[in-house]
Structure 1
């Protein structure tokens, strides 16, 4: 799948799309609070709720409390069902756009309709529902972006390194083909609505997303501060690339393991480029190598 070649300039938004969560700190079951509808949508998007957002109220109900408890348990937080400061801090972190477990996580590009499937947990890694996997071990990849990509990002070198690390623990080999050529995996930087049904949200918030075998789409938000050697306010491109390639190969999120590449959230300035034992066990189990 090749997206239209219309280059977009970078425009930073003035606030974190998840900033609203901070205004809800310390609220709990039984209270009515403006902004809870947005929190319910956040928890639905990332797999912790499954009722219709269109009918959400601003009431902190039992379903919301249960979803928050599940989130807290997943991320190793105190399980209170209350939006305490630690929970708010975790929820506001930049993250992958894929859902965590999940009740209704999207797993393929959308074109005017919803088609959602859950992840399911196995040991300390997750597969995508139906365990989709590639039917071949030699995969091609190319680059096709609609957002400007600074040459200083060295994206070809960054992704070559990320592919090599996944290849090192599997039977996969990855070959780059010329830009915009047909390929198994298409990597691109895009802004906001970019045609796959999962629009980006601007600066901060969701950093990237990818679709599982064999869709092969791997998208990065062109509004982020990407870097091959990040400062304290920048995102390490290779760390996020490692994560998204895990989705491309068929792995889901693992929110219970902060050191795993497949942990859903990221920290500015942090470099996390090496596969954890949970990542390795997951990908080898998926492809019958363990």
Structure 2
């Protein structure tokens, strides 16, 4: 009897016209599903390439005709609206992005790893399922809602608790961004911990190790590559965030001296200024050049994290 890959129109020895029609229909359905799955598989690659080509096309004019590399990367003066002498220095913008992302990781990493360890190694039954659902719900909160939390709730609290004039600062944005990055880091970390073979745990317990000793001395070292991959994915998530950072940082071009200073991030600069520029102008192209920089950084971070996670899965 012919298999499901039989070409339509092939002779059917037994079964009659009904069997022939059924096989003919199944063959077309099988090929259609294969084509659909293939298109879905390559769509992400096509979209990423398309976005990069568009961003590069819009920013390449500034890179080759207007950009002074030293001024662009090493000066903190961002005054693109000056008609006489516009300045395009992104050092302060990079410092603002790095400070917010760094503080966010200080908030997110302990919180995420602690949650992942408890869910994977200590929680059981309904407790585990409930916590996993809550983590997923936390990831589903839109970034603009996080921005409102930073603007309406965190801002007055920081002013009151720390006696500072403005609560829209690195501390505010770092806390908000840390909470935003925590769910994805928790999910990846939990997967890495669950990927550790049970025989490791059983061998340690057979030697008299406690539950915490098994986790600290056996499971965590075995899952370190996966945990590092989760942290890097969190860094990429924080580095590319826009709306919450725009609303919580104060949006001031400034190299911060403390966590209470207002800053401006690279992503927030693009979001705030792109709608006010002349399409194709120098300022417009400079913003797309920042977009190219962000794309390359986030792509590198996410690719590194993906390679690390793939490596631990193969191991």
TM-score, normalized by length of structure 1?
0.22
* Higher relative contact order, chain-length normalized (CA < 8 Å, sep 6+): 2
TM-score, normalized by length of structure 2?
0.21
Could you say which structure has the higher strand fraction? 1
